[in-house]
Amino acid sequence: MQSPENQDYLWEAAGPADAEVARMEQLLGRYRLGEPPRPLPPLETAREWERFVWSRTFRAAAFAGALALLLLWIAPWTIRRVAEPGDAWPARTLAGAPRINGHPLGAAGELHAGGLLETDRASQAEVRIGLMGRVTVFPDSLLRVVEMRAGRYRMALERGKISARTLAPPFTFVVDTPGPTAYDVGCAFTLETDESGSGLLRVTSGWVQLELDDREVLIPAGAASLLRPGGNLGTPYIEDASESFRSALARLDFEQQDPAARAATLADLLAAARPRDVFSFQEMLRTSSGVERRRLIDRGLELLPPPDGVTRAGLLRGDESMMHAWQQQLGIGEAKRWWVHWRDILPQ
Q: Which residues bind other proteins (CB under 8 A)?
A: 10-14, 20-21, 24-25, 27-33, 36-38, 40-41, 43, 46-47, 50, 152, 213-214, 286-289, 309, 316-322, 324
Bridge-based pairing state of the strands 215-220 and 108-111: unpaired
CA quadruple 286, 289, 292, 296: dihedral, nearest 10:
40
CB of 155 to other proteins, least distance (A): 17
Q: Closer to other proteins at the Cβ: 46 or 122?
A: 46
Q: Is the separation of the CB atoms in 108 and 93 below 8 Å?
A: yes
Q: Closer to other proteins at the Cβ: 24 or 61?
A: 24
Nearest to 164 by CA among 124, 204, 194, 130: 204
Q: Closer to other proteins at the Cβ: 103 or 317?
A: 317
Partner residues linked to 183 by β-bridges: 174, 209
CB of 99 to other proteins, least distance (A): 31
Q: Closer to other proteins at the Cβ: 230 or 318?
A: 318
Residue 68: CB partners within 8 Å, gap ≥ 6?
A: none
Q: Closer to other proteins at the Cβ: 198 or 288?
A: 288
Helix axes 62-74, 76-83, angle to 10 degrees: 110
CB of 190 to other proteins, least distance (A): 26
CA 213 vs CA 181, 226, 237: distances in Å? 9, 16, 21
CB of 308 to other proteins, least distance (A): 12
Burial class of residue 262 in the structure, from the number of CB atoms within 10 Å of its CB (0-12 exposed, 13-18 middle, 19+ buried): middle
CB of 261 to other proteins, least distance (A): 21
Q: Closer to other proteins at the Cβ: 152 or 251?
A: 152
CB of 207 to other proteins, least distance (A): 14
What is the DSSP-derived secondary structure letter of residue 235? Answer: P
